[in-house]
Amino acid sequence: MSKELIRLRDVCMAFDDELVLDHLNLYFNDKEFLTLLGPSGCGKTTTLRIIGGFATPTSGDVLFDGVRINDVPPYQRQINTVFQKYALFPHLNVFENIAFGLRMQKRPDPNDPTGKRMAKIPEEEIRERVMEMLEVISLKGFEHRKPDALSGGQQQRVAIARALVNKPKVLLLDEPLAALDLKLRKDMQIELKRIQQQVGITFIYVTHDQEEALTMSDTIVVMDKGTIQQIGTPEDIYNEPKNAFVADFIGESNIIDGVMLRDKCVKMYGREFPCLDGGFAENEPVDVVIRPEDIDIVPVEQGQLVGTVTNVTFKGMQYDIIVDFKGFKWLIQTTDHSPVGSRIGIKIDPDGIHIMKKSQYSGMFGDYSSFSEEYDELDDASLAPDEEESGDEE
Amino acid sequence: MNKNNSFLNRLFMVLVFVFLYAPIVLLIIFSFNAGKSNVVWQGFSLEWYGKLLNNRLIMQSVYTTLLVSLLATVIATMAGTFAAIGFYAMRRKVREPLMTVNNIPMMNADIVTGVSLCLLFVAFFNGWDSFASWFNSLGLFRLPTRLTMGFGTLLIAHITFNIPYVILSVGPKLRQMDKNLVDAAMDLGCTWMQAFWKVILPEIKPGIVSGALTAFTMSIDDFVISYFTAGSSASTLAMTIYGMTKKRVSPEINAISTLLFVTVLVLLAIINIREARQERLRQTRHS
């Protein structure tokens, strides 16, 4: 599990004068499911293209099993890719699409005693391996269909089979689920994780969808503006975000200015709150993250803070309520209904408070004053998954 | 719209078509006339078509036309296809002005293209003469001097004016192609050249064929540019017909013009039917 397979060392990438990747240092372990997560234009697709060999970094090294592969073309790398919108060959049927990589392969001829002559893979073996792959993706009986006679989900699975049949050491996936509808996306998330465990190779997955990343990954790399913001397990990333950007990008967060009075005690709104974090300087200004589901609503007189409800949205499982605390608006998720205009008290357990050092992102996120607009923006982002790629290349 | 108005509309349309096609219809009818007259019908006959086959001048120019058209089509199609791929790989800021430059020769008056190519060839031959006589004075081996315009220059001219049509017809096919296809092919073990043969070519083949057909049609019926670049040793069919009209208008001209018209008509029909079919195919693919 812990054997290192790929390493990016000080990788920079510039298009014209625009720095897309800024001194990236990152390693990928064998057999892990790693997700590069970030908003459009953060450099995640470029990182993937560099690993696949479709782009050469402006500076820095790409190492595969300890060997520098900067100048190795894609067709000589033990890496295969599932492209955005699948890129199946329209003029070939499903069988030929999957067999494409095998037909290109040459290996030492087993009948040649010197072992120098190269031979193509025999037709029977190709047939066997393709059929085996069709079984893995549950598309047996579809081998004579052309790609345009398949549904989006089926095309997606053919694209995965076409890559996996070559038995690569690493599979790169570039937002492979972006074009599918929500229900299918959820099914495919589980399916992908199952396939990864079945074939036992490294998956490097690019997405802007935080929920996808949390569901499937062993490791998540959160990126923004060409730099890595945080690397960790899904639990680490969610529970211990390193800065306001990560806290805001993964899930919902209220991010409040605070001062660390001493270990395990933070001051916000002029009040001391017990917490579990430590290791900060005395009176150091910090960002305090409080997840909406970690806040308990209590009667006003028992509340650590008292605020006014300004907005209530029914979400099925819970209510999303916006509460004004001295001009700063918080999002709270609760199963109890509190009407708009009512005054409520809140209580936060020490383990519901997470302290972060101040960063360039401080003050940019975590205020829900513009609640509705923020939701609109999120919708826009999910509608345009292609934007980043064109942005990277133009 | 009242009835009177719609009658006028129809009359106008009929008149337009009469003016456009009556001369051609007349030409075709009289190509089957038994007598020598272009005015009086003297009975049906294939006499003039038979005479064509025995006219060495005409058969020679048919041969020249077909040869130059075929060669120009093949060469222009290859050059145009690779040029289109080059354009495709460029950034938009570079590509758009270059595409405009590519489109100008198609809009440009043929006579300007013809005269300018003619001038270029003459200038080149002059320069070549000086260079060749200097080189021959060195005594290594002899280079030919006194080059003249002929089949070679005719072919070069045809290739030149055909290339833009090929680019224009291959370009859209490339842009319709999923740009990840080439990456996918290389990912699966293709070198760039293998990816071209196995993936790009099948995808853009309809565009290449349309481009080749257009180029062939353009070559077959070109007169002006050929006239200025063929010199005195080569003559295309269109040039021969023009030459024949200068002496006396023989009904043979009717026959050969009819054949030329039918050939071009058939080619245009093929191009249009292909385009319509591809458009339908593309729409079903996207629905």
pLDDT tens per residue across span A223-238: 998 889 999 999 999 9
Give CATH 3.40.50.300 domain extents, chain A. Answer: 4-237
Query: Across residues A323-351, what is the average pLDDT?
Result: 86
- Give the pLDDT score at A188: 86
Lowest mean pLDDT, pick from A147-156, A282-291, B29-38, B124-133: B29-38
Average pLDDT, chain B: 87
Whether B194 sits inside 8 A of A100 (CB atoms) is no
- Give the pLDDT score at B3: 61
Instruction: Pick A84's closest partner by Cβ from B180, B191, B285.
Output: B180
- Give the pLDDT score at A382: 44
Query: Coil, strand or helix: which one is A339?
Result: coil
Count other C-beta atoms under 10 Å from residue A17's C-beta: 5
A101 interaction partners in chain B (CB closer than 8 Å):
188-189
Query: Best interface-test mutation with B: which of A48, A49, A81 has the largest number of B CBs within 10 A?
Result: A81
B178 interaction partners in chain A (CB closer than 8 Å):
85, 87
Looking at the DSSP bridge assignments, the partners of residue A290 are: A254, A353
Tell me the percentage of chain B whose pLDDT exceeds 70: 97
Query: Across residues A139-157, what is the average pLDDT?
Result: 88
Query: Sign (positive/negative) of CA torsion A180, A181, A182, A187?
Result: negative
Looking at the DSSP bridge assignments, the partners of residue A197 are: none
Q: How confident is the model at residue B94 (pLDDT cuts 50, 70, 90)?
A: confident
Tell me the percentage of chain A whose pLDDT exceeds 70: 93
Identity of the amino acid at B151: F
* Domains present along chain B, CATH in parentheses: 55-247 (1.10.3720.10)
Whether B188 sits inside 8 A of A75 (CB atoms) is yes
Q: How confident is the model at residue B233 (pLDDT cuts 50, 70, 90)?
A: confident
DSSP string, A274-336: E-S---PPTTEEEEEEE-GGGEEEE-GGG-SEEEEEEEEEE-SSSEEEEEEETTEEEEEEESS
Query: Across residues B136-159, what is the average pLDDT?
Result: 86
ipTM: 0.75
Tell me: pLDDT of A376 over 60: no
Instruction: Determine the Cα–Cα distance for residues B174 and B59; give it in Å rounded to an integer.
Output: 40
The better pLDDT of the pair A65, A381 is held by: A65
Tell me: pLDDT of A191 over 90: no
Phi, psi for residue A166 in degrees, rounded to 5: -80, 0
The better pLDDT of the pair A17, A78 is held by: A78
Phi, psi for residue A63 in degrees, rounded to 5: -115, 135
The torsion defined by the Cα of A252, A254, A259 and A261, in degrees rounded to 10, comes to -70
Query: What chain B residue is nearest to A161 in terms of C-alpha separation?
Result: B188
Instruction: Determine the Cα–Cα distance for residues B59 and B51; give it in Å rounded to an integer.
Output: 11
Instruction: Determine the Cα–Cα distance for residues B264 and B256; give it in Å rounded to an integer.
Output: 12
Q: How confident is the model at residue B58 (pLDDT cuts 50, 70, 90)?
A: confident
Query: Across residues A185-190, what is the average pLDDT?
Result: 86
Identify which of A29, A23, A22, A26 has the alpha carbon closest to the alpha carbon of residue A7: A26
Query: Across residues B134-149, what is the average pLDDT?
Result: 83
The answer to whether the CB of B164 falls within 8 A of the CB of B103 is: yes
Whether A81 sits inside 8 A of B194 (CB atoms) is no
R_g over Cα of chain A = 25
Query: Across residues A247-257, what is the average pLDDT?
Result: 87
Interface of chain B toward chain A, CB-CB under 8 angstroms: 91-92, 178, 180-181, 183-191, 194, 198-199, 202-203, 285
Query: Which secondary structure element, helix H or strand E, spans residue B8, and what is its range?
Result: helix B3-31
Whether A105 sits inside 8 A of B181 (CB atoms) is no
CB pairs under 8 A between A and B: 62
A328: Cα separation from own chain's centroid? 30
A110 in contact with chain B, both atoms CB, cutoff 8 A = no
Instruction: Determine the Cα–Cα distance for residues A263 and B232; give it in Å rounded to an integer.
Output: 100
- Give the pLDDT score at B91: 83
Identify which of A281, A393, A293, A301 has the alpha carbon closest to the alpha carbon of residue A351: A293
Q: How many residues does chain B have?
A: 287
Query: Best interface-test mutation with A: which of B90, B187, B197, B286 has the largest number of A CBs within 10 A?
Result: B187
- Give the pLDDT score at A338: 83
Whether B194 sits inside 8 A of A74 (CB atoms) is no
Q: How confident is the model at residue B215 (pLDDT cuts 50, 70, 90)?
A: very high
A100 in contact with chain B, both atoms CB, cutoff 8 A = yes
B194 interaction partners in chain A (CB closer than 8 Å):
104
- Give the pLDDT score at A389: 41
Whether B184 sits inside 8 A of A89 (CB atoms) is yes
Query: Across residues A346-362, what is the average pLDDT?
Result: 86
Q: How confident is the model at residue A394 (pLDDT cuts 50, 70, 90)?
A: very low
Instruction: Pick A80's closest partner by Cβ from B187, B194, B199.
Output: B187
Query: Coil, strand or helix: which one is A370?
Result: coil
The better pLDDT of the pair A388, B249 is held by: B249
Instruction: Say what the pTM is.
Output: 0.75
Tell me: pLDDT of B107 over 70: yes
Average pLDDT, chain A: 84
CATH 3.30.70.1170 fits A4-237, yes or no: no
CATH fold, domain A256-364, is OB fold (Dihydrolipoamide Acetyltransferase, E2P) (2.40.50)
The better pLDDT of the pair A15, B67 is held by: B67
Q: How confident is the model at residue B192 (pLDDT cuts 50, 70, 90)?
A: confident
How is residue A19 written in tokens? 């720095």
DSSP-H helix ranges across chain A: 44-52, 94-104, 123-136, 152-164, 182-199, 210-216, 234-239, 244-249, 371-383, 387-393
Query: Which secondary structure element, helix H or strand E, spans residue A344, and what is its range?
Result: strand A343-348
Give CATH 2.40.50.140 domain extents, chain A. Answer: 256-364
DSSP-H helix ranges across A19-172: 44-52, 94-104, 123-136, 152-164
Q: How confident is the model at residue B287 (pLDDT cuts 50, 70, 90)?
A: low
Strand order across the A33-37 sheet: A79-82, A170-174, A202-207, A33-37, A219-224, A227-232
The better pLDDT of the pair A389, A241 is held by: A241
User: B155 Cβ partners below 8 Å, 6+ apart?
Assistant: B68, B71, B72
Query: What chain B residue is nearest to A96 in terms of C-alpha separation?
Result: B198
Identity of the amino acid at A81: T
Instruction: Pick B188's closest partner by Cβ from A104, A148, A394.
Output: A104
Chain A closest CA to B166's CA: distance in Å?
22
Whether B181 sits inside 8 A of A89 (CB atoms) is yes
Chain A closest CA to B96's CA: distance in Å?
14
The better pLDDT of the pair B87, B41 is held by: B87
Instruction: Determine the Cα–Cα distance for residues B230 and B155; give it in Å rounded to an integer.
Output: 9
Whether B191 sits inside 8 A of A87 (CB atoms) is no
A134: Cα separation from own chain's centroid? 27
Query: What chain B residue is nearest to A148 in terms of C-alpha separation?
Result: B285
